[in-house]
């Protein structure tokens, strides 16, 4: 499917109204672009993944502020660049003052009651095969999948368990489901 400006605009509008599938579409469509950009800057896969997750968390939290006269990719890259700069400043500041990290606030409620295609694939797999596939994910993705699907914790409970903002948990779970679905489809 070609990413036309009209298609992107349509999904942005639906995301503004809380449509889970549109959030997933935007994440899946632009993840590699933001990730690739940051990987070139940081040369560190773990840091890049963290920055990319934070980028989408912030973008989804502030999606109502996006202005259509700007390219959506450019808006995401600007957010990503600012997050990276902030992390560098924090690292420098911590080194000088040994301060605690800043408190993240502001939670955007992403509805999670609509099953996605990834959810359907996950449910259709046999447990042993599924556990084998989950082990192929990075540990932080394994953890959110385990907490959500095997321990059946809510997003808020996962957020509390991991001591991470709710937005980050939601983005990680979206990404983990997509990666797991790709692993399952490859079989």
Q: Provide the sign of the torsion angle of the four alpha carbons 156, 121, 22, 114, taken in this order.
A: negative
For residue 167, is pLDDT > 60?
Answer: yes
Do residues 128 and 171 make contact, with C-beta atoms less than 8 angstroms apart?
Answer: no
Which top CATH class is 5-97? mainly alpha
Considering the four listed CATH numbers 1.25.40.10, 3.30.43.10, 1.10.10.10, 2.40.37.10, the one that applies to the domain covering 117-185 is 1.10.10.10
Q: What is the pLDDT of residues 41-100, one digit of tens each?
A: 999 998 999 999 999 999 999 999 999 888 999 999 999 999 999 988 888 877 665 444
- Buried-state track 46-64, b at ≥16 Cβ within 10 A, e below 16: eebbbbbbbbbbbbbbebe
Do residues 83 and 54 make contact, with C-beta atoms less than 8 angstroms apart?
Answer: yes
Domain residue limits, the chain = 5-97, 117-185
pTM of the model: 0.65
Q: What is the pLDDT of residue 91?
A: 83
pLDDT band for position 110 (50/70/90)? low
Distance CA 27, CA 52 (A): 10
Distance CA 137, CA 129 (A): 14
């Amino acid at each position: 499917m070609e990413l036309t400006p009209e298609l992107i605009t349509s999904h942005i509008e639906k995301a503004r109204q809380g449509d889970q599938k549109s959030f997933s579409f935007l994440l899946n469509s632009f993840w590699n672009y933001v990730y690739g950009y940051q990987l070139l800057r940081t040369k560190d896969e773990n840091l890049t993944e963290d920055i990319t997750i934070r980028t989408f968390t912030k973008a989804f939290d502030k999606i109502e502020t996006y202005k259509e006269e700007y390219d959506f990719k450019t808006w995401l890259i600007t957010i990503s660049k600012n997050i990276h700069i902030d992390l560098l400043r924090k690292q420098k500041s911590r080194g000088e003052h040994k301060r605690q990290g800043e408190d993240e606030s502001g939670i955007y409620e992403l509805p999670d009651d609509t099953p996605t295609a990834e959810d359907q694939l996950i449910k259709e797999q046999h447990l042993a095969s599924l556990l084998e596939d989950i082990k192929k994910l990075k540990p932080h993705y394994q953890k959110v999948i385990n907490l959500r699907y095997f321990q059946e914790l809510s997003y808020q409970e996962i957020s509390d368990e991991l001591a991470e903002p709710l937005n980050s948990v939601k983005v990680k779970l979206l990404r983990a489901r997509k990666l797991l679905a790709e692993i399952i489809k490859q079989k």
